[in-house]
């Protein structure tokens, strides 16, 4: 049987890695897929740029639409990233009856509903395992491996840049800005790191995971998003004194009030396996009602880890080429007509425990004022840590861990505490999740 022809849009790090994996493991891939898979046409913006992969036997073009319009191409792999022209190219490929594989989390999170509807209409597949957590097969695990479960919640370290920064800040007691420069030097962070450190990248990925886990439409605009710029080495140190680690997490939870979708720094118990995932690695913890908690861990980025996911999707598509479209695994795990319109819980209605850090004047009665404010709002305290003042300092750090309370009540408490003339600057608030 003739090999399946693949058109590759983008021949950079992941594209080059995909070519290398397909060639190096060609025999194994053919045995798994039932047919050979070859990249016969590829597009790149700069055809003269050195590549990390061989390009012999591949027709190269600087026009990605030439790849999409090539009648010999059966599967289009989109690795350009961003929204435009990626969206136009993917929709054009679908319109021409071609299957699509993509690693573009932004595109799927923001326009996946439109793309999947078009694919369903045309009877083609859109595979996107590489869009979340690089080489970790988390999409397949939730969509297929856990399909007998009601997913109760999932949490994930789904951005390697922020995980590297927090790991180095804790290990080296270095400020955010210094570690960020180191991450940029090592190539883990972009020159403009906002996409990562503000949590937007993680929010795209959480949008996708939540849709698959709970059978809801993709709703990126409803994800509460908070970054890590405000985290200090002191926060990481104080958290450890209480037995916690601070991780930047994506959290999705199915509650009686609706679905929680949030990305923010979070204290988690240091004994949890996910609390010990360091560096640029990713991990996703999924709680199913039948299986209990399951942890998926590995490389969340990089040429060949991401290419592993791309090639896995290619194998799945090739296996399904001759199958009835109605019998394929649905894009978002649930049948398209069965997606739920469950509401997304507003952040002020979310319940969480909290870590609070404030600088207070070192004199009697200050702590009593703080605890009174918390008590009046029904916020109970789990632990308090008050440090000694530094020589010549009038203010001392006070750290409080609370029990679970609605975000609305905590917002009011913080406003009232900051209004005290004995509190210097703003109150630092980090949410706390026991993950039990």
Residue of 205, 222, 247, 287 marked catalytic: 205
DSSP string, 300-358: -SSHHHHHHHHHHHHHHHHHTTTS-GGGSPPTTSS-GGG---PPBPPGGG-EEEEEEEE
The separation between the first and the last C-alpha atoms of the chain, rounded to the nearest angstrom, is: 51
Give the three-state DSSP class for 377: coil
- Give the up-direction half-sphere exposure of residue 87: CA atoms within 13 A in the CB hemisphere: 14
Q: Which of 342, 389, 328 is nearest to 363 (CA)?
A: 389
Is 257 catalytic? The answer is: no
Q: Which of 10, 7, 125 is nearest to 72 (CA)?
A: 7
The angle subtended at Cα 33 by Cα 87 and Cα 214, nearest 5°, is 50
- Cβ–Cβ under 8 Å, residues 42 and 59: yes
- Cβ–Cβ under 8 Å, residues 218 and 208: yes
The angle subtended at Cα 192 by Cα 174 and Cα 82, nearest 5°, is 135
Q: Which of 73, 65, 121 is nearest to 100 (CA)?
A: 73
Q: Which of 38, 28, 77 is nearest to 58 (CA)?
A: 38
Active site residues: 205
């Amino acid at each position: 049987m003739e090999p399946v022809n693949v058109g590759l849009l983008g021949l950079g790090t992941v594209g080059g890695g995909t070519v290398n994996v397909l060639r190096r493991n060609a025999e194994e891939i053919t045995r798994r897929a039932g047919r050979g898979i070859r990249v016969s046409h590829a597009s790149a913006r700069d055809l003269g740029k050195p590549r990390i992969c061989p390009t012999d036997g591949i027709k190269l073009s600087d026009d990605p639409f030439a790849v999409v319009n090539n009648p010999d191409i059966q599967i289009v792999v989109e690795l350009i990233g961003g929204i435009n022209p990626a969206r136009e190219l993917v929709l054009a490929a679908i319109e021409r009856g071609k299957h699509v594989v993509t690693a573009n989390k932004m595109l799927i999170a923001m326009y996946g509903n439109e793309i999947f509807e078009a694919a369903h209409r045309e009877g083609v597949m859109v595979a996107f395992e590489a869009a979340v957590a690089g080489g970790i097969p988390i999409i397949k695990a939730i969509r297929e491996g856990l399909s007998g479960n009601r997913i109760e919640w999932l949490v994930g370290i789904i951005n390697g840049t922020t995980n590297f920064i927090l790991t180095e800040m804790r290990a080296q007691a270095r400020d955010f800005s210094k570690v960020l420069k180191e991450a940029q030097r090592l190539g883990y962070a972009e020159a403009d790191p906002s996409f990562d450190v503000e949590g937007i990248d993680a929010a795209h990925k959480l949008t996708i995971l939540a849709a698959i886990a709970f059978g809801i439409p993709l709703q990126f605009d409803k994800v509460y998003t908070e970054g890590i710029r405000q985290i200090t080495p002191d926060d990481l140190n104080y958290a450890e004194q209480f037995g916690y680690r601070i991780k930047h997490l994506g959290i999705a939870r199915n509650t009686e009030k609706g679905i929680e979708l949030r990305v923010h720094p979070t204290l988690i118990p240091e004994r949890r396996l996910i609390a010990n995932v360091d560096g640029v690695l990713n991990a996703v913890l999924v709680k199913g009602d039948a299986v209990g908690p399951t942890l998926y861990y590995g490389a969340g980025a990089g040429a060949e880890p991401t290419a592993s996911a791309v090639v896995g999707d290619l194998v799945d598509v090739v296996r399904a080429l001759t199958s009835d479209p109605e019998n394929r695994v649905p894009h978002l795990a649930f049948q398209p007509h069965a997606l739920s319109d469950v509401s997304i819980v507003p952040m002020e209605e979310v319940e969480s425990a909290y870590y609070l850090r404030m600088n207070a004047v070192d004199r009697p009665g200050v702590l009593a004022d703080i605890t009174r404010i918390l008590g009046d709002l029904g916020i109970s305290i789990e632990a308090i840590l008050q440090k000694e003042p530094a020589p010549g300092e009038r203010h001392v750090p006070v750290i409080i861990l609370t029990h679970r309370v609605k975000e609305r009540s905590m917002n009011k408490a913080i406003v009232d505490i900051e209004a005290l003339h004995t509190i210097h600057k703003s109150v630092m608030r980090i949410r706390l999740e026991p993950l039990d």
